[in-house]
Structure 1
């Protein structure tokens, strides 16, 4: 609407009976009474004119919009700076309806506000906020202060002051938009959020919280503790109140009633909220469903209890096994020792009466019956003793780890002594060519001599057992990096590649690999592997080209 067009509200004001029409205002020069002029001196007249000019200049340049209106809303006067701030000159505004300065949607509200002003008490003042419609002005919103200038019932005027509040309105609108955006974000997050005021009363719950509990926001604001599990309620209340009094952050794990009626575990975290000036205004909090984690923790605890119980059972079983092995060691070894001694005594008696040693020197087919029976009895007794000893030693290595008794071993001398000792003890059963290949100047080896001797004896026994008579068996030793490498190689039999990974298993015997029917316990190589590991070393096997080689590597 142009300012040159009369406002419809201006016409409606003129038609209202309660707004008294007045003749158009006009400026008239009224001459002073001659008597007064005569009394004023030229100096007083000059000062008065200067003072009026100063007030007029102050009025024109005051940084606000000052308007005077008649009862119908026609602008009678306006200060120059105020008119300019609205994007007009004073001449463009005078005698125009003031309603044209306001947005179309605000004009009716302004009309009723002015009518109410006339109905109020004399000297009353009113404050309003209106949106303006001044295209050439930066002022979009104004705080309007108005009051009646009572110069007589027929000459009432309205004094109106505009204060620019555009920046405040834009800021408020931005705050409202930001708040709206924050509410939208909070309500779309998959985490339950809550806000409590400085009095500790919850005043905001996001949609996730409402969806989780299934009750309305209004109910939640005053009774969210009612949804907490009865066993957790006092703890939650005490924790919240303690943190609230200290203005401290808190974490609570408690159960909250779900919409399905079941209680679920949640992690509730609250953080104190302060203004930029440091004033406490409440708490912001979040709640995360941790039911799955709690169930996992409970399951883990139960598993740990079960594992602890199982461990106790295993320890109990190990104790019983140790007691059993101790009993077996005594109860089996004692009769076998007696049997071995009785066989030796029987051999001495048979030698005196029937020349047993001469009979044993003959080929097996030419021996007498008592010589063959004696050999069977002696071999099987020896085999049973070895089986029990190996079995008990394996069990001992599996269940207990005794500290090593370390000694410095001169490898060259030690190997020669052990091999000669083995030949002497097994001169009747081991009819093979045992050869030594020992590198010169081998460094001394710090090791447990008893365990190392057991390893070498078992390897030699295994080589003699599975090699044809008169075959060569080589015992080699050499230094390699920071270790000593011992090798026992035998010729005449090789192990199929498919069987190599299993030869260290307990009680395992290679099928069809005992052409001389030597027999065996299947524990010898398993015991060697255990002892080698016990000494901190490794053992490997290679077989091919009618040769089998077992290599033991021990750290110096």
Structure 2
């Protein structure tokens, strides 16, 4: 800034015919009536001078900018603190145009205000302005200017100007304005509908997405105008929820139908969060709204689907019960004649043994047996297979429908395994062709379990191993204790179970396709029963099959 640059206001004042040009002079604080000073005593004079110096010091160091200007806008006096704040000394500012201290954009405004103040010169007339400075060496950028006329009754009145630094306030206002502008920019470009309300619950802002959705403008939505678009059936609930949240200053969520610009009502999820000032005062709410119509439709469809599925499940359960009842009835009905057939076969065996020495014939190789012996074996085996089928099915049925209590007994594993294997060999003469090996670890602890169920499991595993092992193959029954459980394994050489079939090996009625080279047949219920009984006793069973060797591992808790 050039302080010597003449101002526009200075030129305008020079052209005024009713203004008297006066030689500017620096103001000094002196007594108004020197004659009275001359009549004072020396003490009074000293005191007066001290007071004058004190006031002078106060004037020079008050933390504000004090200026006195004449009609031409020329600075006649300035306090030291003020001049320093502007980056000058008082001497540099005296006799300079006051308007040159301000930004060029502000000079016309200041000049006009001062001219109007001189033209309507009154003692109490005050001008208030907020102006930007143009002082490169000053930290002040903005000042509040308060100007008033001094001695308006005199021919050449003066103007006193007080400037207060408001830079921080202006910067805060700019930051706030920039923040609000940034918020509005972000809000108007947000992909959701946004709104704001004041502390009275009246909405004062809606973003562009909201206005585009409703097809209305800010004025129409302001206050409670937005409620006009709420579905009549939802309006009371919406209003009550909204007011209750405002009264308690809490977050809220409302789902309601809201009219879109095309007239269609859409489901809206409106969420509001309370706002508070830094001092903790309630300032209102800010909220967002999203269209959830598709979600609502999906919920309705899902509910209808669930209802339909539930109905189907109930129907399937009913059919399953009917099936179980039917199969149970049929099984019981078949069991009685099969029992009679078994008894008749046994009686036939006794008679044939007496007449034709059947036991001796049965001990011969299959090809050398008589026809009667072969037919008797077929009849006996098939009858036994049917009885086992029905027994297995009934046992599975009972395990599926009821939980019968366990009959717990203490078992000495070493002795018990030997007895079960001997019993199995006695009942299944065909298994005599296989080499059954017992591998029982030493000092096995006794454990408590349902002896009957455990025997069923082991018999089924041994039967399965014999079916799928070639004659002469080794079948190993192993037992050992591990941690807190008893482990029993049955392994055999022969047919390898494909990896893809292992997950289904325990399913009811499931038999591995093309996996019966010795045509032993089966019902597909044995392993299903094994798994059920194992779980029934609180244990687990798994199967591994590789390199033409299959191993079933059962683990039962010791306690």
Q: In the alignment, which residue of structure 2 is the partner of 1:13? A: 13
User: How does 1:398-547 map onto structure 2 within 5 Å?
Assistant: 398=400, 400-426=402-428, 432=433, 437=438, 439=440, 441-462=443-464, 471=472, 476-481=477-482, 482-487=485-490, 489=492, 494-496=494-496, 498=498, 501=502, 506=509, 508=511, 511=514, 513=516, 515=518, 519-535=521-537, 536-538=539-541, 540=543
Residue 122 in structure 1 maps to residue 140 in structure 2 = no
Alpha-carbon distance between aligned partners in 1 of 2:81 and 2:231, rounded to the nearest angstrom: 68
For the aligned residues, what is the CA RMSD? 4.4
Alpha-carbon distance between aligned partners in 2 of 1:59 and 1:465, rounded to the nearest angstrom: 119
| Among candidates 337, 340, 346, match of residue 339 of structure 2 | 337
Task: State TM-score, norm by structure 2.
Answer: 0.77
Residue 269 in structure 1 maps to residue 255 in structure 2 = no
Q: 1:337 to 1:284 in 2, by over 3 A?
A: same
Q: In the alignment, which residue of structure 1 is the partner of 2:20? A: 22
Alpha-carbon distance between aligned partners in 1 of 2:347 and 2:439, rounded to the nearest angstrom: 40
Gaps of 5+ in 2: none
Checking the alignment, whether the CA contact within 8 Å between 1:436 and 1:474 is kept in structure 2 is yes
C-alpha offsets along residues 248-298 of structure 1, whole Å, 9 cap, x if unaligned? 33333444445564514324131232342x333222334455566656655
Name the SS for the 1:183 alignment partner: helix
Checking the alignment, whether the CA contact within 8 Å between 1:133 and 1:140 is kept in structure 2 is yes
Moved more, 215-224 or 417-426: 417-426
Checking the alignment, whether the CA contact within 8 Å between 1:463 and 1:473 is kept in structure 2 is no
Q: 1:416 to 1:274 in 2, by over 3 A?
A: same
Name the SS for the 1:483 alignment partner: strand
Alpha-carbon distance between aligned partners in 1 of 2:55 and 2:422, rounded to the nearest angstrom: 136
Alpha-carbon distance between aligned partners in 2 of 1:459 and 1:38, rounded to the nearest angstrom: 134
Gaps of 5+ in 1: none
Q: 1:473 to 1:217 in 2, by over 3 A?
A: same
Q: In the alignment, which residue of structure 2 is the partner of 1:280? A: 282
Moved more, 85-94 or 103-112: 85-94
Alpha-carbon distance between aligned partners in 2 of 1:432 and 1:315, rounded to the nearest angstrom: 46
- Could you tell me how far 1:239 is from its partner in structure 2? 2.0
User: How does 1:98-497 map onto structure 2 within 5 Å?
Assistant: 98-120=98-120, 122-129=122-129, 130-150=131-151, 152=153, 154-222=155-223, 223-258=225-260, 261=264, 263-276=266-279, 278-288=280-290, 301-302=303-304, 304-344=306-346, 355=355, 357=357, 361=361, 376-398=378-400, 400-426=402-428, 432=433, 437=438, 439=440, 441-462=443-464, 471=472, 476-481=477-482, 482-487=485-490, 489=492, 494-496=494-496
Checking the alignment, whether the CA contact within 8 Å between 1:197 and 1:283 is kept in structure 2 is yes
Checking the alignment, whether the CA contact within 8 Å between 1:125 and 1:145 is kept in structure 2 is no
Checking the alignment, whether the CA contact within 8 Å between 2:267 and 2:296 is kept in structure 1 is no
C-alpha offsets along residues 55-112 of structure 1, whole Å, 9 cap, x if unaligned? 8725752634444444444445555555555455555555554433333333322333
- Could you tell me how far 1:303 is from its partner in structure 2? 5.2
Checking the alignment, whether the CA contact within 8 Å between 2:253 and 2:269 is kept in structure 1 is no
Name the SS for the 1:248 alignment partner: coil
Q: 1:358 to 1:8 in 2, by over 3 A?
A: closer
Checking the alignment, whether the CA contact within 8 Å between 1:146 and 1:159 is kept in structure 2 is yes
Q: In the alignment, which residue of structure 2 is the partner of 1:61? A: 60
Q: 1:400 to 1:135 in 2, by over 3 A?
A: same
- Could you tell me how far 1:553 is from its partner in structure 2? 3.4
C-alpha offsets along residues 207-241 of structure 1, whole Å, 9 cap, x if unaligned? 44445544333333232333444443322321221
Q: 1:26 to 1:52 in 2, by over 3 A?
A: farther
Q: 1:320 to 1:38 in 2, by over 3 A?
A: closer
Alpha-carbon distance between aligned partners in 1 of 2:329 and 2:251, rounded to the nearest angstrom: 64
Checking the alignment, whether the CA contact within 8 Å between 1:258 and 1:264 is kept in structure 2 is no
Alpha-carbon distance between aligned partners in 2 of 1:180 and 1:71, rounded to the nearest angstrom: 42
Alpha-carbon distance between aligned partners in 2 of 1:168 and 1:423, rounded to the nearest angstrom: 103
Q: In the alignment, which residue of structure 1 is the partner of 2:45? A: 46
Aligned length: 538
Alpha-carbon distance between aligned partners in 2 of 1:273 and 1:552, rounded to the nearest angstrom: 67
Alpha-carbon distance between aligned partners in 2 of 1:38 and 1:467, rounded to the nearest angstrom: 141
Alpha-carbon distance between aligned partners in 2 of 1:466 and 1:84, rounded to the nearest angstrom: 109
Alpha-carbon distance between aligned partners in 2 of 1:328 and 1:37, rounded to the nearest angstrom: 141
Alpha-carbon distance between aligned partners in 2 of 1:467 and 1:93, rounded to the nearest angstrom: 118
Checking the alignment, whether the CA contact within 8 Å between 2:132 and 2:142 is kept in structure 1 is yes
Alpha-carbon distance between aligned partners in 2 of 1:52 and 1:534, rounded to the nearest angstrom: 110
Checking the alignment, whether the CA contact within 8 Å between 1:266 and 1:291 is kept in structure 2 is no
Q: 1:333 to 1:14 in 2, by over 3 A?
A: same
Checking the alignment, whether the CA contact within 8 Å between 2:123 and 2:152 is kept in structure 1 is no
